[in-house]
Structure 1
Amino acid sequence: MLSERQLRILEAIIVDFIDTAQPVGSRTISKKYPLGISSATIRNEMADLEELGYLEQPHTSAGRVPSELGYRLYVDSMTNLHTIGLDQKELIQSLLLKKIIEANDIADQSAKLLADFTGLVSVVTIPQFNKCRLANLKMIKVTDTKVLLILVTDNGIVKSIQLALSNTDQYILDKISDTMLNFLLGETIENIDVRSIMRLKEKLSSFGNIVDYLIPILKDALKNLDNNEIHIAGEQNILSILEFSESEKAKQIFNFMKSVENLEKLVRTVDTSKLAIKIGSEIGIKELEECSVISSTYKVDGKNEGKILVIGPKRIDYGAVISIVNYISNTLSDLFSGIYL
Structure 2
Amino acid sequence: MHWFADIMAALGVVLNGIPQGIMALGLGFAVFPTTFSFLLVSGINFAFNSVAPVSFQAESLALTGNLGKNTREYTSIIFGGSVIMLIIGLTGTLTKIVQVFGNQIITAMMAGVGVMLAKIALNMSKDRSWTGWVSIAVAVITYLLSKDLVWTICLSVILSSLFAVFVEHYQNELPQNVTVRRFIFTKPLFNLRILRGALGLACLNIGANLSYGLITGQMTGIKPNPVNLNLLTSSQALADMGTSLLGGAPVETIISATASAPEPVIAGVLMMLIMAVILFAGWLPKIGKYVPSSSIAGFLLVLGLFVTFPENAATALAGKEQLAAATTMVITALVDPFTGLLAGGVMKFVLPLLGL
- More helix, by proportion: 2
TM-score (norm 2): 0.24
Q: Which has the higher contact order (CA 8 A, sep 6+)?
A: 2
- Flag the structure with larger Rg: 1
Q: What TM-score comes out, normalization by structure 1 length?
A: 0.25
Report which of the two has the higher share of strand: 1
